[in-house]
Amino acid sequence: MASAGSQFQGSKEPAAGGAFPWLNRYPAGVNWGQAFKPAAVQELLDGTAKAYPRRTCTNFLGKTLTYGAIAALVDKTAAGLQKLGVGKGSKVGLFLPNSPTFIIYYYAILKAGGTVVNFNPLYTLEELTFQIQDSNTDLMVTLDLKILFDKVEALLVKGSLARAIVASFPALLPGSKSVLFKLFKGRDLARLRGSPAASRILLDADVVAKAGILEKVAIDPVNDIAVLQYTGGTTGTPKGAMLTHANVSINVMQVIPWAPELLEAQERVLGVLPFFHVFAMTVVMNFGIARGCEIIIMPRFVLDDALKLIDKAKPTVMPGVPTLFNAIMNHPKLKSFDLSSLKFCLSGGAPLPIEVKQRFEQLTGCKLVEGYGLSEASPIVTANPLEGPVKEGSIGQPIPGTIVSLRALDDPSREVPVGEKGEICVKGPQVMKGYWNRPQDTADQFVGDYLRTGDVGVMDDEGFLFIVDRIKDLIICSGYNVYPRRIEEAIYEHPAVEEVTVIGIKDQYRGEAPKAFIKLKASAQMTQDEMLKHLESKISRIELPAEIEFRDALPKTMIGKLSKKELKAEEAQRQKSG
């Protein structure tokens, strides 16, 4: 784990097998051993707002706000939050789609001294309740869109949540669009005044209007937690990764030298990935703000809208997941959109097929590079160089200041030599402080100072890393981690189910998708639709099985444990012959 100090620096000590292999062919002009000064995350915004106050910061459905305007709103909001009692130790939840509201409250919470807790808007009430209670979140920020507010209201009524701040969605739109939205889509807006939880609802406009003077809070970047980022880790049980201010701010600083052709205060980044996801939080929002980018914000991904936006707003940077790039390439009218403004795209969240990379670059003229990371590392660990060798299947080399060590699968304290298979373990200033209130899980996740990822890889003699297997039982679905165990537990809650096994199957669009094999109890009957209905309130949409197969018996090991190996082999053969 990262230790306290005035600065973090890439270690000069060689790995057990000799010098770090990535230094044999590191990208020209990138200093792997450079030092990084820990800083509070809000300094990213403060620095850019001071240098470029008139530069456009956010472009949301046609309405733009400058860095100066965003910074002023952040200060007012932070002062309003302090008046509500937010300070050191406070956990404030963000239950928001991509929007200026997300950016303003994210930085305001940090400036008030609090900790941001990111919540996925697709979560069920059960999942939200768990995360609220586990994180000690007592204040949630959301919009007055019914699809969001109805869940927050239910949490308030149930007593799971103490208070909520609700911001106006129409107020985020340009004048004419705001009027039209209220006129034609008014039914999508929540009626706050008549809410049974009205006494515990605060309006964003009031929080800002009644704000006092912002009190500066002393932040210890190395130890103070900026973000609680919930993740399944290697087990699927949701745990809050404690990302310190230094973890989050330095990860941005580590990424910047990787793309030297991206110029300060001249780029436009497309925010199509959700900001509540750690990948977008770092490489879209925080990176964009640190570099003075115009952040072109999409509240949700719709392929046609995304292509029209690229054509019109001319973004130069677009982080995404492989399914996004694949969808763009396969759009039937792709040639009618001008994508030539794109200079740099970073793919993460799931393996990037080489054919997708090559074809996307051919069609757009944009460099598409694959990176690798995990929530516990804020998240970026490795990336492929913009220039230089393209090695099929590689997730790239360690970014500056990061050491990747491959450890023996039967003894994680022992490092394996170059070319041998081992568990990918990571050391660097971006690695989390630990899991919130889970000392044993934290201890299990580390071997010495190294974070265990649960991924099995091989490193070549130039430090390029290749993932070859997973220790953790995990399905990567459109860039999201989906844990079979969570789906299995939800299925077992149905009284008709005797046994269930969930595996990942190949999915043309999402990369992988869950498939459930179910054995029903004697004389019980059930359809796929009935099971999906049972699961709707228990797991998120992304976790719902793409296929459900009912069987008279499920394969087991010699000791009687349910076995996935045979089912995976069957599916692989079926897809091969199909």
How confident is residue 61, by pLDDT bands cut at 50, 70 and 90? very high
Reference 306, options 276, 273, 282; nearest CA is 273
What does the mean pLDDT of the chain come to? 92
Instruction: Quickly state the pLDDT bin for 557 (edges 50, 70, 90).
Output: low
Write down the pLDDT at residue 415: 96
Kindly report the CATH number that applies to the domain delimited by 8-38+247-470.
3.40.50.12780
Q: What percent of the chain has pLDDT over 90?
A: 79
pLDDT band at 449 (very low <50, low <70, confident <90, very high): very high
- Residue range 462-483, pLDDT digits in tens: 999 999 888 888 899 988 889 8
pLDDT at 441 over 70: yes
CATH of 64-218, one of 1.10.760.10, 3.30.390.10, 2.30.30.30, 3.40.50.980: 3.40.50.980
Residue 15 has pLDDT above 50, yes or no: no
- Banded pLDDT at 276 (limits 50, 70, 90): very high
Burial of 389 (0-12, 13-18, 19+ CB in 10 A): exposed
Q: Where in the chain is the domain with CATH 3.40.50.12780?
A: 8-38+247-470
Instruction: Please tell me the predicted confidence (pLDDT) of residue 393.
Output: 87
What is the arithmetic mean of pLDDT over 29-55?
Answer: 97
pLDDT digits (tens, 9 = 90+) for 343-363: 999 999 878 888 889 989 999
Q: To 10 degrees, the CA torsion angle through 411, 412, 415, 417?
A: 70
pLDDT, tens digit, 9 for 90 and up, residues 142-157: 999 999 999 999 999 9
State how far the Cα of 467 lies from the Cα of 181, in Å rounded to an integer: 47
- As a whole number of angstroms, the distance between CA 354 and CA 261 comes to 23
Quote the CA–CA distance of 350 and 542 in Å, as a whole number.
15
Report in angstroms the alpha-carbon separations of 112 from 48, 117, 248. 19, 14, 17
Mean pLDDT, to the nearest integer, of 504-510?
88
Q: What is the pLDDT of residues 304-326, one digit of tens each?
A: 999 999 999 999 999 998 888 98
| pLDDT at position 245 | 98
The pLDDT tens digits of the residues spanning 177-236 come to: 898 888 888 899 999 999 999 999 999 999 999 999 999 999 999 999 999 999 976 667
**Dist CA 156 CA 7 (whole Å):** 43
Residue 11 pLDDT > 50: no
SS3 150: helix
Distance separating alpha carbons of residues 576 and 578, to the nearest angstrom:
6
> What's domain 475-577's superfamily in CATH?
ANL, C-terminal domain (3.30.300.30)
Residue 1 scores a pLDDT above 50:
no
| Numbered ranges of CATH 3.40.50.980 in the chain | 64-218
What pLDDT, in 10s, does the model give residues 62-88?
999 999 999 999 999 999 999 999 999
Helix and strand totals (H; E) in the chain: 17, 29
Q: Give the per-residue SS3 of 10-26.
A: CCCCCECCECCHHHHHC
E runs forming strands in 298-430 = 344-347, 367-373, 380-383, 394-398, 403-408, 411-415, 422-427
pLDDT of 184: 85
